[in-house]
Amino acid sequence: MSEPNDKKLEELLRSAIPPVKHAELERDLWPAMLRRLEPRPIRVSWWDWALAAGAAAWFLVFPEAIPLLLYQL
Amino acid sequence: MELLERFASGDLDAFETLFRQYQGLVYAWTVRMVRDRGAAEDLTVETFWRIYRAHARFEPVRDFGAWARRVATNAALDYLKTARREVELPANLASDPAPDAVQQQEVGAAVRRAFGELPATLRATATLALIEERPYAEIAEALGISVGGVKTRVFRAVRQLRKKLQSMGVEP
């Protein structure tokens, strides 16, 4: 691959994708940063709650399944 | 206590001071990499979130700006790896363009498409080196590789871009 061909391709690239002209930040991002720093509550989906409730019900009806489950773990 | 020492010990006021001092630098670097202002703003916050979480590992003798740019580069690379690759089309198509202009637009669209298909690391390196024309030493520091590594990535990016363009019927 010759160097002049590389230069031509690089010029083609720059004409197709010009450099960013205005890279200045137009607003203060500190408020967004503060929102990000706030602790987020852990969200548990309804499906997880349903699964936990189902498992609890199952172990209430069939308590002998608990050792089996522990053995599998 | 010095500002960087206070930041390293987890002082939020020190972090705010550093944020206000360096948010412009991080944004400018990120927008050059991802070429999307909204995404660059989100990534600037993401970068400082990563910086804040890593405050205990920061050594106050280090250059904070260089460290921030490195963290920003990693955040931008993560974004480029997962973001949907969109084909950019010319925004202001002329109503009756001349044949040469049409051909130029088609070539430009092909170049953007081919470039967008490059692996994220090659695309980011080539963007900074060839489009933004940033110094290789600066790119190397931000990517955490050697200057030789940057040259290799640029070479590979150009080679792959040429192959992709040839497969599209465009002879650069």
Encode pLDDT of B123-171 as tens digits: 999 999 999 999 999 999 999 999 999 999 999 999 999 999 999 887 7
ipTM score here?
0.78
Q: Global pTM?
A: 0.78
Fold of B3-82: Rna Polymerase Sigma Factor; Chain: A (1.10.1740)
Which CATH code fits B99-167?
Answer: 1.10.10.10
Q: Indicate if B99-167 has the same CATH topology as B3-82.
A: no
Contact B4, B58 (CB under 8 A): yes
User: A31: which 2 tokens?
Assistant: 């408020």
Contact B125, B154 (CB under 8 A): yes
Q: How many angstroms separate the CA of residue B2 from the nearest CA in chain A?
A: 22
Per-residue pLDDT of A3-43, as tens digits, reads 667 888 999 999 999 999 889 999 999 999 999 998 777 77
**What is the rounded distance in angstroms from the CA atom of residue A22 to the CA atom of residue B126?**
19
Count of C-beta atoms within a 10 Å radius of residue A31: 10
Nearest-CB residue to A20 (from B35, B52, B161): B35
Q: How many angstroms separate the CA of residue B68 from the nearest CA in chain A?
A: 15
Domain layout of chain B by residue ranges: 3-82, 99-167
Q: Measured between beta carbons, which residues in chain A are less than 8 angstroms from residue B41?
A: 25, 27, 29, 32
User: A40: which 2 tokens?
Assistant: 């987020």
